[in-house]
Amino acid sequence: LTYCFSRRRRRRAEVKRIIKILKIDIDSDSDYRNAYEAENLVCYFWAVAYASFVTFVGLTLLFLATEIKLPEGEFLHVKLGGVDFPHEGSRLVFGMAFLGAYVWGLQHVFRRYSSNDLTSSVYYGFSMRMIFAAIIALVIYNAYTALAGSGDSKGEGGITANIWPAMAFLIGMFPQRGLRWLTEKFPILSPESDPSVRKAPLEMIEGIEIHDIMRLEEVGIDTCYDLATADFVPLVLKTPYSARQLIDWILQAKLCSYFGEAVKDLRLHGIRTVTDLNTLDEGGTKIDELAKTTTVTKLALECAFRSVKKEEKESNEIERLRKAGQVLGRFWEDKSVPK
C-alpha cells in the first residue's frame, strides 16, 4: 500500500522525464505508452494474496506440524519401488528451505521497494522461489540419503541429520546452487550443450549482481547475447536502472558476445566494452600484441574490430547509445552540449 500510494509516483515521474527528453509521442504511439503501464491496486491485491497463501502453507508445515496432525510430525511416506519416500526428516528440511527462501525474499522485496520498482510480478516470483527452493532441498536430502545408503541420522562425509536443517536453509537462500549439486551428481539432469557455442551468462558483466540478473530475467534477458541485442528504450522504461548503467552493461554484453570468456583477458589490457575496440588499429601492432598475450586469436580481433568500426548498422547503434547516455545522464542544463 505504501508503494502504490507513495513511492510509485517517483518512478512514474522518472519515466515521464525519460519520455520527454527522448521526445517520444506516447499519445500517438501506444507501444511506448504500454512499455510502462502503471499497475492498479487490484493487480497488487491478487499478487500479495497469492504470496501470503503460499507463505502461510509453508510456514505452517514448518512450525505447526503437530497442530495440523501430521503423523509424528513428518510427511506421509509412500512406497516407490520398495523404497520409502520421503525419508524421515524431510518435513523439517522442506520447511527450513522454505524459511531460507522467505528470508531472502523479504530482502528482495525491500530492495525493489527502495528502488521504486516493486511490481506485482515480484510477489509471484517470491512465491515460486519459496516453492522451488523447498522442493529442491527435499529432493537433495532424499537423494543424498539414498546415495549414502542410510535413512537415518548419518551419511557420507560426516554430515548428520542435525546439520541438514541448516543446509536446507542455505539451499533456500541460494536454490540455484542446490540445483547445480543435483546436476553434478546426476549428469542426466544436465542439458546438452554444443561445445562450439560460447557461454555468456550475465555474471560475466562487471557491475551486475544476483538481484540485477533476476530483474533482467523478468524482461526476457537471460544471457549476454540477449542484452547485446536488447532494445534500449523499452528496457530503460521497464527497469529501474539509469540510462548510463544500462548502456555500460549493453556495451559490455556486446564485447562478451564477440569473445565469450576471453573478455577476462581483454579487461587486463584495458578493453572493457565494445567501444574500446576503437583504440585498436587494423593491421597494426596492437592487435598483434593482444593476439600474443591473450587467448583471443588475431582473426577474432580483426573481425570484431571491423564489425564495430566499419559496419554501418553496428556503429550507428553504438553511437545512438552513446548519445542517449549523454542526454539522459544530465540532470542539469549544460549549454555547452548541443541538443
Each residue's pLDDT tens digit, 258-304? 888 888 888 888 888 888 888 777 666 788 888 888 888 888 888 88
Identify the pLDDT of residue 193.
Answer: 61
Q: For 107-128, what is the mean pLDDT?
A: 91
How far apart (Å, rounded) are the C-alpha atoms in residues 272 and 241? 20
What letter would DSSP give residue 294?
A: S
| Burial bucket for residue 194 (CB in 10 Å: 0-12, 13-18, 19+) | exposed
Among 55-69, 159-173, 175-189, the least confident range? 175-189
Q: Helix, strand or coil for residue 85?
A: strand
Q: What is the pLDDT of residue 48?
A: 94
The band of 129, judged by pLDDT with boundaries at 50, 70 and 90, is very high
Higher pLDDT, 79 or 261: 261
User: Helices 298-309 and 243-259, interaxial angle, to 10°?
Assistant: 140
Under the banding of pLDDT at 50, 70 and 90, the label for residue 154 is very low
Picking from 231, 224, 186, the residue whose alpha carbon sits closest to that of residue 205 is 224
| Coil/strand/helix, residue 83 | strand
Q: Which of 262, 249, 253 is nearest to 300 (CA)?
A: 262
- The answer to whether 8 touches 116, Cβ cutoff 8 Å, is yes
User: What residue type is assigned to position 116 of the chain?
Assistant: N
Give exposure, 34-62, as e/b (b: 16+ Cβ within 10 Å): ebbeeeeeeebeebbebbeebbeebeebb
SS3 at position 152: coil
| Amino acid, res. 67 | E
CA angle 168, 171, 176 (to 5 degrees): 155
pLDDT of residue 297: 83
The pTM is what? 0.78
Written as nine digits, the cell of 218 is 523478468
Q: What is the pLDDT of residue 333?
A: 52
Query: In sequence order, what are the residues at sequence separation of 6 or more whose Cβ sits closer than 8 angstroms to the Cβ of residue 43?
Result: 120
Query: What does the DSSP 8-state code read for residue 80?
Result: E
